[in-house]
Amino acid sequence: MSTKTLKTVEELLEAGWVKADDAPQLKAVAARYAIGITPSMQALITADDPNDPIAAQFVPTAAELVQTPQENADPIGDHAHSPVEGIVHRYPDRVLLKAVHACPVYCRFCFRREMVGPDGDGMLAGAALERAIDYIRTHTEIWEVILTGGDPLVLSARRLRAILEQLATIDHVKIIRFHTRVPVVDAPSINDELIDALKASGKTTYIAIHANHPRELTETVKVAIDRLLHAGIALVSQTVLLKGINDDPAILAELMRRFVELRIRPYYLHHPDLAPGTGHFRLSIQRGQEIVAALRGHVSGLCQPVYVLDIPGGHGKIPIAASTIIDESDGYHVTDFRGVSHFYQNS
């Protein structure tokens, strides 16, 4: 195992995670999509398991060269709602601030895979960053700023602090939310300096932590999570439902319980987006609904994320769990968690 992040096909060959025969195809994958596997994630990979759920998230495969007609480079329509560089304003009261396009790891199923990485959209700095902050300042309906990317926690503490100190001066912004994988894939980097920077806005701070398999949530991760909670930062979770990784009610239940045990409130379970070369990770919405229904009632209410689809074209996220209620003229048929239907009479 390496003590640094693996970034090339050569390094993956050396680590023994890919076969020499596959190298030409994997180099074609690497030419288009960045590779990154942190030491923490390397340590979790079981090399002799061809279905290892950690390897499947980070080790590239030739399947990524297959692109279906429905897939596209901007599957959730970020560009359609970007008034200035670095800002995505799709919903009235909140914006995404995309300050950086690097990540600690590169997920093979990433929905922004054409925008992230060393050849991605780069970092927002100087005049461009000022324009983005000005946009937030002049749009008084913006209550929440969501720092995403890429992964905002790969920025240096100094850079993060500079951005957050600017947001601190905007009164109508009440909430700062970060979307990140760092506390999971690179837990040791959650140090005091970084935490101080995250809180530099003085506003209510949330972090949405991305993890997809219970094995990712180790004791080392718990230490990082405890530090964030101790600093008064609220934590929610974010998971992508992925074929071959977590498309199983038992695994998903274990993941959600682990989040709750760590005091991370389950928030979203994303149906995979139509990102290019990710067809091998996609399951049907019907299968997703079955998995989500299997959690409801059988596992604590605290462990229930909202199953969402980001509608292609930039129309936003929408809950897609199967309906448990049918309208009738004098009431409703509702289905309980065992699948039994009951009538609720209007009063």
Binding footprint of ligand SF4 on the chain (CB under 6 A)? 103, 105-107, 110, 112, 116, 150-151, 181
Sign of CA dihedral 38, 148, 208, 203: positive
Contact set with ligand PLP (CB under 6 A): 76, 88, 90-91, 94, 96, 146, 317
Active site includes 310? yes
Q: Comparing C-alpha atoms, which of 147, 11, 9 is closest to residue 88?
A: 147
Nearest residue to ligand PLP, using CB?
90
Which residue is catalytic, options 52, 90, 106, 161? 90
State the binding partner of 96 from ligand SF4, ligand PLP, none, CB within 5 to 8 A by kind.
ligand PLP
Angle between helices 157-167 and 126-138 (to 10 degrees): 30
CB closer to ligand SF4, 110 vs 136: 110
Which residue is catalytic, options 135, 159, 273, 282? 273
State the binding partner of 317 from ligand PLP, ligand SF4, none, CB within 5 to 8 A by kind.
ligand PLP
ω into residue 150 within 30 of 0, thus cis?
A: yes
CB 245 within 8 Å of CB 272: no
Active site includes 107? yes
CB closer to ligand SF4, 240 vs 299: 240
Question: What residues does 96 pair with on adjacent strands?
Answer: 88, 146
- Run of H or E residues at 333: strand 331-335
* Pair of tokens at residue 310: 């980001």
CB closer to ligand PLP, 54 vs 145: 145
Question: What residues does 37 pair with on adjacent strands?
Answer: 6
Which residue is catalytic, options 33, 52, 103, 113? 103
CB of 178 to ligand SF4, least distance (A): 12
Q: Comparing C-alpha atoms, which of 85, 83, 4, 71 is closest to residue 37?
A: 4
Active site residues: 90-91, 94, 103, 107, 110, 112, 273, 310, 317
